[in-house]
Amino acid sequence: MPKIIVTQEMIDKTKMADEGFHLVEVKSCEEKVNSKKDGTNYFFSMQIISEGSNQNRYVGNIASSKALGLGLLPLYAAIMGVSMDAIEAAEIDTDAMIGKKCIVEIEHEIYEGKPQARCKNFLPATTNGVSFVE
């Protein structure tokens, strides 16, 4: 009979992150197609919490918009350390976002009857010269 090895890291990744502000690192950001609903494209980014009691828990973020990528701008602004007002027209290389850090505010919501951790706000990991990154 095959055996599955379950590590503490695997367990931590499956736990829902607590509400509040967390330092995260972007692990992936890719374009996907919504096959369950209307077939529209969206961006899905996966962040891992970098420190604290929620360390190693994953938080996903769906950024969908009629103007594809528009919903990705708050995350992009936060990891670049700029305000949304400072963003200029440019092509965003989502691969360049991988490994970058920012602060994410997480709130719990009920989606299709199940509790979910949702990214509500993205903030730079460094503000006014004060770094939140260890």
Dig out the tokens for 19 from the structure.
């509400």
Kindly state the average pLDDT of the residues 54-75: 76
**Whether 75 contacts 102, CB under 8 Å:** yes
Residue 134: band (very low, low, confident or very high) from pLDDT cuts 50, 70, 90: very low
For the chain, the average pLDDT equals: 81
CATH number of the domain where residue 37 is located: 2.40.50
DSSP H helices in 25-125: 73-80
Between 107 and 70, the higher pLDDT residue: 107
Residue 36 lies in a domain: yes
Local structure of 134: helix, strand or coil: coil
Residue 4 lies in a domain: no
Tell me which residue range forms the domain holding 21. Answer: 10-128
pLDDT tens-digit readout, 8-42: 877 877 788 999 999 999 998 888 877 776 777 77
Residue 20 lies in a domain: yes
Dig out the tokens for 54 from the structure.
């929620």
pLDDT of 125 higher than 80: yes
Residue 59 lies in a domain: yes
Dig out the tokens for 94 from the structure.
């989502």
What percent of the chain lies above the pLDDT cut of 70? Answer: 87
The pLDDT score that the predictor gives to residue 73 is 81
Total structural domains in the chain?
1
**Whether 67 contacts 77, CB under 8 Å:** no
134: Cα separation from own chain's centroid: 19
- pTM across the whole model: 0.76
The pLDDT score that the predictor gives to residue 132 is 56
